[in-house]
Amino acid sequence: MRAVIQRVTHASCVVDGKVTGEIQTGLLVVLGVEDADTTEDLDWLAGKLVNLRIFGDENGLMNKALTDVGGNILLISQFTLFAQTKKGNRPSFIRAARPDKAIPMYEQMIATLSKLLGKKIATGIFAADMKVSLLNDGPVTIIMDTKDKDNH
């Protein structure tokens, strides 16, 4: 799994003119799933997202996690995170999981994050034409890949 994590003061997703998910302070997480991803990858990433200390403390240092600031998550599925651009100018998405694998993993991520945070997770709609807007706070943007979890 790959995730692009952005600390935001506001983020929303609109599909066909209707808001599907909206948050104030928190994280906009764009999530890509590949065929090799496992439940272990999902649990590791969910734990990291909830506990990532990237929010400012009283001294302005990034020492607080999402739970410390009462933040929320807007989770957006995005297969293009697995674009391969080595050859030519048209990206290949062969590493991205097909919907029969990606949808259950995306839904499981929503459930896992909701359980860890103790609140509803705002979302987009899988495979829809989504319009995502955000106000990046910082800006703080972090890219995580579960393939890196064992390389510490």
Sketch the domain layout of the chain as residue ranges: 2-144
DSSP code, position 97: P
Q: 0.85 cut: is pTM over it?
A: yes
- Active-site residue set: 80
Q: Mean of the per-residue pLDDT values for the chain?
A: 95
Closest CA to 19 of 74, 63, 84: 74
User: 2-144: which CATH topology?
Assistant: D-tyrosyl-trna(Tyr) Deacylase; Chain: A; (3.50.80)
What is the share, in percent, of the chain residues with pLDDT greater than 90? 89
Determine what percent of the chain falls in helix, strand and coil, rounding each to the nearest 5.
Answer: 30, 40, 30
Burial class of residue 100, CB neighbours in 10 A (0-12, 13-18, 19+): exposed
